[in-house]
Amino acid sequence: GAGVSQSPSNKVTEKGKDVELRCDPISGHTALYWYRQSLGQGLEFLIYFQGNSAPDKSGLPSDRFSAERTGGSVSTLTIQRTQQEDSAVYLCASSASGTSGFVETQYFGPGTRLLVL
Amino acid sequence: QQQVKQSPQSLIVQKGGIPIINCAYENTAFDYFPWYQQFPGKGPALLIAIRPDVSEKKEGRFTISFNKSAKQFSLHIMDSQPGDSATYFCAASRANNNAGNMLTFGGGTRLMVKP
């Protein structure tokens, strides 16, 4: 079956511009995570969605970052007024459930490589 | 604060060798420890995972050893092959957590297996 897809695969933008990154999770997966992979910082958690519940935004590095998930499926990560330090690979992962008592495998997409000039 | 420390950062072995990658964690609330494998241009993919109620888990050529008292775990790759050349990440999360199973990753180990 289809895995997690992300678009665009690459994005080059100028400092100060806004960008939107899209994630299509595996069909039926209720949990969706965004992570950032950057040199020197490794892989870090950004935000978590579970079904229609309020998202866990505890990993977002600043208020320039926001995300939404429409209809419990597709998610968009928005970075406003991009800075050079935002350059990284943004990874999306989904799992069947993120609720208590279960550890469901997180399936990652290929990522969006963002370069801020 | 880096809650999961991974070493070494890079590793080169000959085909057939047994690379060992080590991780140490700080948060005793962690109770799920997966290893992910990542090839260039791809997202990480789950390789093997362990819960702290066992000290070892083996799947094919991959083995996790877990030491709860030392808060350490390691990945061993038996009979390594050039196709195993990739970046490996250890991770930790809280399984019994209503707030989701977000992963805390180690810094990664770039493995090269020479033919």
Please tell me the distance from the alpha carbon of residue A77 to that of residue A64, in angstroms, as a whole number: 11
Q: What chain A residue is nearest to B106 in terms of C-alpha separation?
A: A42
Classify A62 as helix, strand or coil. Answer: coil
CB contact under 8 A, B97 and A59: no
pLDDT at B96 > cutoff 60? no
pLDDT of residue A40: 66
B58-75: per-residue pLDDT in tens?
Answer: 999 999 999 999 999 999
Instruction: Calculate mean pLDDT across residues B44-54.
Output: 92
CB contact under 8 A, B105 and A44: yes
**Strand order across the beta sheet in which B4-7 lies:** B4-7, B20-25, B72-77, B62-67, B56-59
Residue B110 forms part of a structural domain: no
Would you list the domain boundaries of chain A?
A: 5-112
Q: What chain A residue is nearest to B47 in terms of C-alpha separation?
A: A105
The shortest CB-CB distance from B44 to any of A50, A56, A108 is to A108
pLDDT at B93 > cutoff 60? yes
Residue B16 forms part of a structural domain: yes
Domain of residue B27, CATH code: 2.60.40.10
DSSP A12-59: EE-TT--EEEEEEPPTT--EEEEEEEETTTEEEEEEEEETTSPPB-TT
CATH 3.40.50.11540 fits A5-112, yes or no: no
- Which chain A residues have a beta carbon less than 8 Å from that of B35? none
pLDDT of residue A63: 96
CB contact under 8 A, A103 and B95: yes
pLDDT at B1 > cutoff 60? no
Residue B21 forms part of a structural domain: yes
- Which chain A residues have a beta carbon less than 8 Å from that of B89? 42-43
CB contact under 8 A, B43 and A110: yes
* Residue ranges making up the domain that contains B79: 4-95
Measure in Å the smallest separation between the Cα of B115 and chain A Cα atoms.
27
Count of beta carbons in the 10 Å neighbourhood of residue B56: 11
Q: What chain A residue is nearest to B42 in terms of C-alpha separation?
A: A110
Alpha helices of B1-103 — where are they, by DSSP H? none
Instruction: Calculate mean pLDDT across residues B36-54.
Output: 93
- Which chain A residues have a beta carbon less than 8 Å from that of B45? 107-108
pLDDT under 70: residue ranges of chain A: 1, 40, 98-102
Please tell me the distance from the alpha carbon of residue A28 to that of residue A35, in angstroms, as a whole number: 20
pLDDT of residue A98: 54
Please tell me the distance from the alpha carbon of residue A50 to that of residue A72, in angstroms, as a whole number: 8
Nearest to A76 by CA among A4, A8, A22, A17: A22
pLDDT of residue A35: 97
pLDDT of residue A104: 79
* The total number of structural domains that make up chain B: 1
pLDDT of residue A8: 97
Measure in Å the smallest separation between the Cα of A102 and chain B Cα atoms.
6
Residue B75 forms part of a structural domain: yes
The shortest CB-CB distance from A103 to any of B42, B44, B101 is to B101
End-to-end CA distance of chain B: 38
Measure in Å the smallest separation between the Cα of A52 and chain B Cα atoms.
13
